[in-house]
Chains A and B, each alone.
Chain A
């Protein structure tokens, strides 16, 4: 037996997956997400209108009902519009993440997800790249919203527009990886209504997006506890403080309370791990539920 292996034609070129090729792949995935978004103007439009309706209409009406006392990071009484803005930015991230989860389920039904997963790069790298692409799109929307809100006299300090970016990225990654996990668990999503009812609304309303947590505790201690385990609460609070150039509230002893940051980081690691596990070809959930696309 001839052990001197003759290299076959197709194998002649070395095909090592080095860092340059990883970067080419990452850039390609993120660029596609942004391109797709830019080509769907109605999606951009509706992504902006939703929080603006809340800001212009809901917040204006609610202003008289709910007085917000002075709480950090605000240094004086603030209008309800100002209080609710970080929550609405969180809402943009939340909707965006869930829409990308829906598109991933839809992609799986078509073939776009299959072509992504048939790429030779490690699957965790592919999923993370896709996630970051989604966050890039969410960032565009969030800044567009903040720009319009500025003319509605919601004027955080200029430095806040810079410091909010890392908070938006981190919160976007957390919500994105949650939605990635959901997309692997849900076999079929008939429409967006299911996600709205079971994920978006509960997460949004049972959080500090619309009312401060101490207000919630006054009316319902149980709901208060629900809000305190809701990851979205911590995302909103992280964005709220970051928009005013802070990482978190000051404790009474003067040290910085980093709970929001740590909780968002923790949830991100947890959700991302779960999503990568679910998409793992040997351990994951995809292969256990009756095959691909439902044909076999």
Chain B
């Protein structure tokens, strides 16, 4: 896997490139030779059940700990060798909440802008921009506690955009949301892909979030089972719907999930 063209020679590096990454916790092989690419302006759905290795992969991409094998690069910057440059170009929406409920939206976002070294004047400007994008500018001074689950998610997305990343990771961003909120959150992110050219890696176990034009990566028990377009996915499994295809490829034992 390592004889691919070096990323820096490409005209525009992809938003995210994961090449041959394996990761082991003790005897448990959580990731087995995982490779995937998120081009700019692409919406990639990372499909996998709980325990498939999505969280481990996200921990490695966000450098909670280092990958010991393979390579991960964000817009051409290797996460392990140049973490500062790589992390400046990466936005993340974690599955668990990251906002202080007792602080206002502005206070929360100002803190996260500071984490990226953005000064107060500039941070105020970007906070307003980001809240405009997610349609919550009029709530800026309210406490996060007063928001609904879907609105909180939208603030998390605004938070992840403050440092203007070229690559956005979202980990189960719609978990626990009602249908209306889910559609609103997905719509905002798809809008960012279309307008701003962000590369998005959208991890989910909800298969109905896949749209026909998306690219899919299926992660199962730490291995990439499929990587390609939705029609290709259906053809590979010989199935009529993504749901059936997912069940066929991952085996019957997981049929009750997804």
Contacts and interface: CB of A to CB of B under 8 A. Distances in A.
Interface of A: 1-3, 5-6, 8-11, 15, 17, 20-22, 24-25, 27-29, 31-32, 35-36, 39-40, 109-112, 114-122, 126, 281-282, 284, 286-293, 295-296
Contacts of B119: 20-21, 24
A290 B96 contact: no
Given A8-B13, A29-B115, A110-B97, A119 B110 contact: no
Interface stretch (B99-107, B178-186, B224-232, B242-250): B99-107
Nearest to A5: B8
B85 A15 contact: yes
Interface in B117-169: 117-120, 159, 164-166
Contacts of B56: 291-292, 296
16 contacts: A28-B111, A32-B103, A110-B96, A111-B95, A114-B62, A115-B98, A120-B83, A120-B87, A122-B84, A281-B66, A281-B83, A284-B65, A291-B30, A292-B55, A292-B64, A296-B56
A281 B63 contact: yes
B12 interface: yes
B116 A25 contact: yes
A110 B59 contact: no
A218 to B, nearest CB: 49
Contact of B84 (A10, A120, A289): A120
Which of B25, B55, B103, B116 lies at the interface centre, i.e. has the most chain A CB atoms within 10 A of its CB? B116
A120 B88 contact: yes
Given A110-B96, A110-B97, A111-B97, A31 B115 contact: no
Interface residues of B, number: 60
B51 A296 contact: yes
A35 B13 contact: no
A295 B92 CA distance: 18
Contacts of A282: 65-66, 80
A36 to B, nearest CB: 6
B96 A109 contact: yes
Given A11-B75, A115-B98, A120 B116 contact: yes
Contacts of A9: 12, 166, 197
Of residues A1, A36, A115, A289, which shows the largest number of chain B Cβ atoms within 10 Å of its Cβ?
Answer: A115
A118 B117 contact: no
